[in-house]
Structure 1
């Protein structure tokens, strides 16, 4: 049973509450955020959701341990928890066929979900994605996961996310600092050092990637420092069956925020692709 809350609603999934932005109507699109401290579904995807809502039902949850979605009892997050919760959420919402868009960590979850639910997942858009076999933990991703709550940590993190440093405004820093402080306790439980193990947890095997039957669009920033193009996106081309890669120049780890118009055009065209 769903309970309406300000800014979205909460859906019970396997006995655990999941806060979700649920807007628009039409074919369903599940949007999964990344792993930076202070990240939420609506924070990551609200602008994209607005552009899609006229033609699609957009579902953007706070994944377990982020925003207003607590970690299920006895867990500390991880690929299996996030993948199973995403699948169960869409079941709870009555959606039997849907596209999945995932950013960074959410990209790995999207690909894992497509492998686990080939009849439900119609297509995948993986943005600045994690999940590639043998991808190392980058210095910048390690720093983002280690960023302390507050303005200093927020400014450093945002500076690593984007190529265009003019986007790191005082307003953006203040908003992210507030979100980081609000989620600090849950986040600390998910990515403690040594952090290479969390990259390993989000790494998808060759067998899992081969099980993805849906068409996949990889969108990557050429200047992505957290999940570099060479180690994160390019290797996936050797493992996914129906895949294409679009690289955006002068762009860092978050194309949907740094080049929103280009990203939305790519997304809209891929979602209606025959």
Structure 2
């Protein structure tokens, strides 16, 4: 288990350009020890695995998955712009269109060649856009309870997108909203305190709460309805929490029909935070797909 402070200390920082704005992006990066590869400090030949979170989470979502994958593969898990330990100041777009541009510039600086994308929630929307716009750049694609088509936004996020709501709620009210979101989004009744505290940690300042509101108001359905889903050529796994009411499995079934090479793997007893609900099964099926193309 890794707490949020340890995860933060493990992150690196870089700058990306999005719509002319220079933004700092924090990211977790790991992989097999360089000495065990070839002694030259090179990463493995396989495409790196890039993990993308959603709203209102951050890369800490992957704390029990990314390090396990890093035993065999290079992994990169960024905080989206406006989230986690990435830039939160006001004055830039947080939409998934802008997050796709962030991802493009980030990978341009870190990676030489194709990648595998593993994505949840709005991170899934970012991954779908990137895979459709850059089909040769994505080797494999894993989507979990991802926004797509017209499946979003949801009422909870819409409410947070109103600046007046954030102001009226104040720090305690926003924390209560987050407690509800992270608690109700799990299958079990008692959230892991480490998960709950870790997910809330980045939003504990006035600047962060404003950023959360900007992130919420940037949820634009048009950015997923305009995707050319048929252009996505990556081998795709839809690793979906079966009991989610926010991003129902019916949308995964639709993706399975529209994507060129997709298979659906359902995880029972899992709501929206499927990575937290079924961590061990999620890790197992993900590792199997990455290695063998089958969950």
The reply to whether TM is greater than 0.5 is yes
Q: d(CA) in 2 for partners of 1:271 and 1:118?
A: 18
Matched position secondary structure for 1:47: coil
Matched position secondary structure for 2:228: helix
Q: Is the 8 A contact 2:256 2:262 kept in 1?
A: yes
- Computed over aligned residues only, the root mean square deviation of the Cα atoms, in angstroms, reads 2.4
Q: Is the 8 A contact 2:238 2:256 kept in 1?
A: no
The Cα of 1:138 is off from its aligned counterpart by 3.9
1:64 aligned to which of 81, 94, 99: 81
The Cα of 1:174 is off from its aligned counterpart by 3.7
Establish whether residue 203 from structure 1 lines up as the match of residue 224 from structure 2. yes
1:34 aligned to which of 46, 49, 54: 54
**Any idea what the Cα deviations from partners look like across 1:67-124, whole Å, max 9, x if unmatched?**
1212698522112111111121111013312100010101111111111111211010
Tell me the residue number matched to 2:239: 219
In structure 1, the gaps of 5 or more residues are none
Could you say if the C-alpha distance between residues 260 and 240 of structure 1 is closer, same or farther in structure 2, counting changes exceeding 3 Å?
Answer: same
Q: d(CA) in 2 for partners of 1:175 and 1:101?
A: 20
Matched position secondary structure for 1:85: helix
**Any idea what the Cα deviations from partners look like across 1:202-259, whole Å, max 9, x if unmatched?**
4243x521110101111111211221222x3222123111001111111101221110
Tell me the residue number matched to 2:141: 124
Establish whether residue 237 from structure 1 lines up as the match of residue 237 from structure 2. no
Tell me the residue number matched to 2:38: none
Q: d(CA) in 1 for partners of 2:280 and 2:193?
A: 23
TM-score, scaled to structure 2: 0.79
The equivalences for 1:3-152 within 5 A come to: 6-14=9-17, 15-25=22-32, 26=44, 27=46, 28-36=48-56, 39-41=57-59, 43-70=60-87, 74-131=91-148, 133-139=149-155, 142=158, 149-150=171-172, 151-152=175-176
The Cα of 1:180 is off from its aligned counterpart by 2.3
Q: Is the 8 A contact 1:13 1:88 kept in 2?
A: yes
Q: Is the 8 A contact 1:29 1:100 kept in 2?
A: yes
2:271 aligned to which of 237, 241, 252: 252
Q: d(CA) in 2 for partners of 1:122 and 1:110?
A: 12
Q: d(CA) in 2 for partners of 1:68 and 1:104?
A: 19
1:164 aligned to which of 185, 188, 192: 188
Aligned residues: 259
